[in-house]
Chains A and B, each alone.
Chain A
Amino acid sequence: DQQVKQNSPSLSVQEGRISILNCDYTNSMFDYFLWYKKYPAEGPTFLISISSIKDKNEDGRFTVFLNKSAKHLSLHIVPSQPGDSAVYFCAASGVDFGNEKLTFGTGTRLTIIP
């Protein structure tokens, strides 16, 4: 049972445009959400997070939006750069899951076209 889902396995975006990566979750006990970026044969790198008490968090080119009623979050990258090409995982956690325990989505491969 996949509790965190990323329904788009891949996404291609022109350099300079906005990249929007989506993530849905099913468990309402999740209360903290994170996005990670991963290159092949490397561990994930933390990008940005959001608590369930917020609906938006921004850090430079990265903005995460959370819609709790829809159990949906999205990562916006603008402007997209070639170095953003990677696999992006969303992850969820919560007090009932021991806080540090992360449940990952299946990932979306983002390709930025120069």
Chain B
Amino acid sequence: GAVVSQHPSWVICKSGTSVKIECRSLDFQATTMFWYRQFPKQSLMLMATSNEGSKATYEQGVEKDKFLINHASLTLSTLTVTSAHPEDSSFYICSASIHPVVTFFGQGTRLTVV
């Protein structure tokens, strides 16, 4: 079946550094990928929609300069958390669709900023 791979699964970084998270669709082409963030005991919050070959669409309240999204190919989208701070520590999940409403999720990335 369709698989979405996310890497790394966990990362610890120092405050002020940048972290890149990759999301790959392994056996299908995804013109649109999505990035979500989950805080403890809270829902998955959509951060942005990543569009291949064009700029990402960010949800209200998400800083586009802080969370850089690049969707350079039909199988890869990247999320870069720039100048990370402890409050950016969270669980980040990407997803991709092969059908309008059936979405496959990556394994998620646990980011800890110290």
Contacts and interface: CB of A to CB of B under 8 A. Distances in A.
B91 A103 contact: no
A43 B95 contact: yes
B28 to A, nearest CB: 13
Interface in B8-50: 9-10, 32, 34, 36, 41-46, 49
A34 to B, nearest CB: 7
A89 to B, nearest CB: 7
Interface in A39-53: 41-46, 49
Interface residues of A, number: 25
B93 interface: yes
A107 B106 CA distance: 18
B94 to A, nearest CB: 8
A48 B103 CA distance: 12
Contacts, number: 63
A101 B44 contact: no
Interface residues of B, number: 28
B102 A43 contact: no
A11 B49 CA distance: 33
A35 interface: no
Given A43-B108, A98-B49, A101-B34, A32 B101 contact: yes
B101 A93 contact: yes
A99 B100 contact: yes
A90 B45 CA distance: 13
B43 A106 contact: yes
Given A41-B110, A107-B43, A99 B101 contact: yes
9 contacts: A34-B103, A42-B108, A46-B102, A89-B43, A93-B101, A100-B34, A100-B103, A102-B101, A103-B46
Query: Lowest 9 CB-CB distances: which A-B pairs, in order?
Result: A43-B105, A99-B100, A100-B97, A106-B43, A104-B44, A104-B43, A32-B101, A43-B108, A93-B101
Interface of B: 4, 6, 9-10, 32, 34, 36, 41-46, 49, 91, 93, 95, 97, 100-108, 110
